[in-house]
């Protein structure tokens, strides 16, 4: 199965759970892509003692998952594309 997961929050527990789901689905053989939009483009900078979002993002990516970030959302925050989260045009604009 092919799954697309859209994350629109940088709230640690919610983002962490979304990436845990992505990791679990991918480990079962599903093709998974994650698209970050809105404040979720800041997930790579989230630090939390219990919900290690960056670790889950890295685990997902290291296992072959694709993470894309909304270019418009990055630009509005004066952020750039990164290796972990390459910029993509927002499909909604």
pTM for the model: 0.85
Q: Which domains does the chain have, with CATH numbers?
A: 2-88 (3.40.1260.10)
pLDDT digits (tens, 9 = 90+) for 10-24: 999 999 999 999 999
pLDDT digits (tens, 9 = 90+) for 74-85: 888 888 766 666
Residues 6+ apart with CB under 8 A from 74: 41, 80, 81, 87
As a whole number of angstroms, the distance between CA 74 and CA 66 comes to 17
Indicate whether 69 pLDDT > 60: yes
Indicate whether 54 pLDDT > 80: yes
């Amino acid at each position: 199965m092919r799954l697309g997961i859209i994350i629109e929050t940088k709230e640690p527990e919610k983002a962490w759970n979304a990436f845990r789901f992505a990791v679990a689905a991918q480990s079962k053989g599903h093709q998974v892509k994650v698209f970050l939009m809105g404040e979720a483009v800041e997930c790579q900078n989230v630090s939390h003692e219990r919900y290690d979002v960056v670790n889950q993002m890295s685990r997902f990516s290291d296992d072959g998952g694709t993470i894309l970030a909304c270019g418009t959302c990055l630009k509005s925050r004066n952020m750039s594309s990164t290796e972990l989260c390459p910029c993509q045009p927002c499909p909604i604009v």
